[in-house]
Chains A and B, each alone.
Chain A
Amino acid sequence: MNVIEVHNLSHHYNGKTVYQDLSFTVPQGSICGLLGKNGQGKTTLVNILMGFLKPSGGRCLVLGESSHSLSPDVRKRIGLLHEGHQAYEFMTIAQTEKFYRGFYPDWNADIFYSLVNKMGLPHRHKVGSMSCGQRSQVVLGVIMAQNPDLLILDDYSMGLDAGYRRLFLDVLHDFAAMEGKTIFVTSHIVQDLEQLVDTIFFLDQGRITRTGLTEFLGSFKKYVFHSNSQVVPIEDEIIKGVERRRDQFTVYSYRDQDTVTEQLSRQGVEVRDLHRADMTLEDGFIGLMGKY
């Protein structure tokens, strides 16, 4: 069963086409990361999924309903984390708990307080006077206490230091381990996603590509070599990405080492000590999408 189904989605903004005919699905139980460079419409897509933007065309179904007109019953099953960990800053911790409790029949105050109490703040502490990290714990507490079936997280790592990010990931891991829970997440810290997701969506120039994390890390490869030649590798069908630091070059490809070496010499590039290197998700992301 698909939790998210997007068919022929198109969106225009100020007369500019953001995307045309975008289609993908997110099956129940999968943990998906949406990756894309700035300006590729990542925020727009998340906004459409969250129901805060009516697409210009196509269909976007979340839990079987149009995302821009979700019924309260379906909204109850979706946990949203807004960019910048949006929370009502005029509320205290206790008031926040009291506020949300009224809306969710399965509300679990213990989960909320177990997360929030880690910060050691009194419950009458105002959300507005918290640090971004502290606020993120309150927001996480709210979402987890709702016990949603689908989590959509818009750049959860924004403004968080390593500690809070780790804390966040821990909680998400526990959540993901539960039966039938689905997570759709974006983050600008790609490295974190590697520890969380099982499926990746690459959004680039109006196209979306879906791949499994292990599948991607296995098939996309990073090769390192040295070269003093004036000729620099060029991206083509085989060579997907090129990085250079002084005389050390890194190229990315789905192909094996021999094919890559052959292609480089065909391009007239002098190649010394070409070998396959360990590739992180961030490396792969840069290799596939480029830096800018």
Chain B
Amino acid sequence: MISSILLKEWLKLKYLFAGVLVLNIGVCLKIYFDIRGLILSEHPEMIWYEAIHLHNVFFKDFMFFPLVTGLVLAAAQFVPEIIRRRMRISLHLPLHRDLLILLSVVTGLFFFMVAVGISVVLVYSTMRSWFPLEVSMTVLTTMGPWILAGILGYLGGMAVLLEPLKTRKVFLTIVFSVIISVMYMGVGYGWMSPAMPYLVWLVPLFLFCVFNSGQRFQQRGA
């Protein structure tokens, strides 16, 4: 049963997942060559100073890529389902609706974490090869909110796609956009870290919104 759902999600995801993976690796390579160029062409101690004391984030090109990744994966999984309301097929399967949605979410988030995880490792390695450990460690705290934005974008995208009513779609889009925009507040390494313990609670709230949209998708007819 679970393997059937995984098969279905994988078939929908595979091409776009490959696409976002290439995109993520591409931006990581750009970051690598940009930093290498800076270090080679300028005094490395000045680059360090910019990073450490002026809080210049040298990998900020990556900022919106987790969000894009999340949105693309959500679209890859759920656009084929809502075209001609094809998800009715899955909704009729002998499986609880929320479990069905949860399995889709887990699959999508797994591929999201693979794409974004590879990027984090690449950016970390890039930073580690030119900067002291303390600076490269901040990759994790600085990227945290961006990755969270990607997860929320993924879940929010799903909730909006499944919601049948247009006005409510718009309202959801506004609410989710405002909340996701918070993840991009502030500048510098780990700016958001003190808020992260609170912000992660948005994930279950967003997940429940997907369940809500799923229920409405099923019960609001053709």
Q: Per the CB under 8 Å rule, do A and B touch in the complex?
A: yes
Interface: B1 (CB within 8 A): yes
In the complex the two chains form, is A54's CB within 8 Å of B94's CB?
A: no
In the complex the two chains form, is B86's CB within 8 Å of A86's CB?
A: yes
Q: Which of A53, A91, A98, A102 contacts B221 (CB 8 A)?
A: A53
Q: Which of B80-113 contact A (CB under 8 A)?
A: 80, 84-86, 88-89, 91-96
Bound complex: CA A100 to CA B220 (Å): 25
Known: A82-B88, A86-B84, A99-B8. A44 touches B221 (CB 8 A): yes
Q: Is the interface of B mostly helix, strand, loop or mixed?
A: helix
- Please indicate which of the listed interface residues B2, B80, B89 has the most CB atoms of chain A within 10 Å of its own CB: B89
The distance from the CB of A264 to the nearest CB of chain B, in whole angstroms, is 43
In the complex, residue of chain B having the shortest beta-carbon distance to the beta carbon of A77: B94
In the complex the two chains form, is B92's CB within 8 Å of A91's CB?
A: no
Q: Which of B11, B85, B92 contacts A78 (CB 8 A)?
A: B92
CB contacts (< 8 Å) of B91 on chain A: these are: 51-52
Bound complex: CA A47 to CA B1 (Å): 25
In the complex the two chains form, is A90's CB within 8 Å of B12's CB?
A: yes
In the complex the two chains form, is A104's CB within 8 Å of B219's CB?
A: no
Bound complex: CA A120 to CA B121 (Å): 49
Interface: B218 (CB within 8 A): yes
Interface size band for B: 20 to 34
The distance from the CB of A178 to the nearest CB of chain B, in whole angstroms, is 21
In the complex the two chains form, is B92's CB within 8 Å of A75's CB?
A: yes
In the complex the two chains form, is B1's CB within 8 Å of A50's CB?
A: no
In the complex the two chains form, is B219's CB within 8 Å of A73's CB?
A: no
CB contacts (< 8 Å) of B220 on chain A: these are: 53-54
Bound complex: CA A101 to CA B222 (Å): 27
Interface: B41 (CB within 8 A): no
Interface: B170 (CB within 8 A): no
CB contacts (< 8 Å) of A103 on chain B: these are: 1, 4, 93-95
CB contacts (< 8 Å) of A43 on chain B: these are: 222
Interface: A256 (CB within 8 A): no
In the complex the two chains form, is A84's CB within 8 Å of B84's CB?
A: yes
Interface: B167 (CB within 8 A): no
Interface: B18 (CB within 8 A): no
Q: Mark A2-17, 1 if CB is under 8 A from B, else 0.
A: 0000000000000000
CB contacts (< 8 Å) of A48 on chain B: these are: 221
In the complex the two chains form, is B219's CB within 8 Å of A54's CB?
A: yes
Known: A47-B222, A90-B11. A98 touches B4 (CB 8 A): yes
In the complex the two chains form, is B218's CB within 8 Å of A72's CB?
A: no
In the complex, residue of chain B having the shortest beta-carbon distance to the beta carbon of A80: B92
CB contacts (< 8 Å) of B11 on chain A: these are: 88, 90-91, 95
In the complex the two chains form, is A100's CB within 8 Å of B4's CB?
A: yes
In the complex the two chains form, is B80's CB within 8 Å of A102's CB?
A: no
Known: A53-B219, A53-B220. A88 touches B96 (CB 8 A): no
Interface: B7 (CB within 8 A): yes
Q: Which of A51, A73, A86, A88 contacts B8 (CB 8 A)?
A: A88
Interface: A87 (CB within 8 A): yes
Bound complex: CA A89 to CA B80 (Å): 9
In the complex, residue of chain B having the shortest beta-carbon distance to the beta carbon of A70: B92
The distance from the CB of B30 to the nearest CB of chain A, in whole angstroms, is 32
CB contacts (< 8 Å) of B94 on chain A: these are: 72-73, 75-76, 103-104
- Please indicate which of the listed interface residues A48, A50, A88 has the most CB atoms of chain B within 10 Å of its own CB: A88
Interface: B181 (CB within 8 A): no
Interface: A188 (CB within 8 A): no
In the complex the two chains form, is B222's CB within 8 Å of A98's CB?
A: no
The distance from the CB of B28 to the nearest CB of chain A, in whole angstroms, is 29
CB contacts (< 8 Å) of B4 on chain A: these are: 98-103
Bound complex: CA A54 to CA B95 (Å): 19
The distance from the CB of B220 to the nearest CB of chain A, in whole angstroms, is 7
Nearest 9 CB-CB pairings of A with B = A53-B221, A102-B4, A72-B94, A76-B94, A54-B219, A47-B221, A102-B1, A75-B94, A99-B4
A-B contact pairs, 21 of them (CB 8 A): A48-B221, A50-B92, A51-B218, A52-B85, A52-B222, A53-B219, A53-B220, A53-B221, A54-B220, A72-B93, A75-B93, A76-B94, A82-B88, A83-B222, A84-B84, A88-B8, A90-B12, A90-B80, A98-B7, A100-B4, A103-B94
Q: What is the interface of chain A, defined by CB distance below 8 A to chain B?
A: 43-44, 47-48, 50-54, 68, 72-73, 75-76, 78, 80, 82-84, 86-91, 95, 98-104
Beyond known contacts A47-B221, A72-B93: 19 more, CB 8 A cutoff: A48-B221, A50-B92, A51-B91, A52-B218, A52-B222, A53-B219, A53-B220, A53-B221, A75-B93, A80-B88, A82-B85, A83-B222, A84-B84, A88-B89, A91-B11, A98-B4, A98-B7, A102-B3, A104-B94
